[in-house]
């Protein structure tokens, strides 16, 4: 279980992701979580810096897909702001949504990275499918009540991961 929660890479912010390194590893597409990864929780729009950063990825020959447990309407609104395809109501950490996103990108799991702020949804689901998992610190402290509960388990998992030298 601990192994499946362990991110392949840990960064403070999305802007710290080394794109050249990803490409060296054969990554050709990135799946992004929505809430507290590219937008603050419940926010209806991408900030200008985040939008610009997401849009420049195509210049690096990296395809983008958004993957969220949130509803279709909100996810689409944000996906449209950066011109990316999306999968909503993903039921992460279930593999189905991740598979759909990989399929949307037209790539194989080995060619795809996933960026997210939660160990129990984004990292667990991504690792289960063999994606290159990248864990970012949440953008804001405000969260969905369900996430606040999961965070308590996440804190425990982080302690265990650190104690076992995985983080």
- Output 37 or 104, the one with its CB closest to Mg ion: 37
User: CB 92 → Mg ion: shortest distance, Å?
Assistant: 9
- Output 6 or 36, the one with its CB closest to Mg ion: 36
Among 46, 70, 117, 157, binds Mg ion (CB under 5 A): 117
Strand ranges in the chain using DSSP code E only, listed in sequence order: 9-11, 29-32, 63-67, 86-87, 112-116, 132-136
Number of chain positions touching Mg ion (CB under 5 A)? 5
CA–CA separation, 115 and 126 (whole Å):
9
Give the number of C-alpha atoms closer than 13 A to the C-alpha of residue 153, restricted to the C-beta side.
11
Piece of the chain touching Mg ion by CB under 5 A; list 13-21, 51-59, 99-107, 115-123: 115-123
Task: Please give the residues from 25 up to 84 whose contact with Mg ion meets the rule CB under 5 A.
Answer: 33, 35-37
Contact assessment for residue 96 and residue 114, using Cβ atoms and an 8 Å cutoff:
no
User: CB 99 → Mg ion: shortest distance, Å?
Assistant: 19
DSSP state of 167: -
Binding-site ranges for Mg ion (CB under 5 A): 33, 35-37, 117
């Amino acid at each position: 279980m601990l192994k499946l929660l362990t991110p392949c890479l840990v960064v403070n912010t999305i802007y710290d992701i080394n794109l050249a390194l990803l490409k060296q590893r054969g990554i050709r597409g990135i799946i992004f979580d929505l809430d507290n990864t590219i937008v603050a929780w419940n926010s209806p729009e991408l900030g200008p810096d985040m939008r610009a950063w997401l849009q420049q990825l195509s210049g690096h020959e990296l395809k983008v897909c958004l993957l969220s447990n949130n509803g279709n309407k909100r996810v689409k609104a944000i996906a449209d702001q950066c011109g990316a395809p999306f999968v909503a109501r993903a039921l992460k950490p279930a593999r189905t949504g991740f598979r759909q996103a990989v399929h949307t990108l037209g790539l194989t799991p080995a060619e795809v990275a996933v960026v997210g702020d939660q160990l129990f949804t984004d990292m667990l689901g991504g690792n289960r499918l063999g994606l290159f998992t990248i864990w970012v610190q949440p953008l804001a402290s405000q969260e969905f009540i369900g996430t606040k509960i999961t965070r308590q388990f996440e804190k425990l998992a982080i302690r265990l991961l650190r104690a076992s030298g995985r983080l």
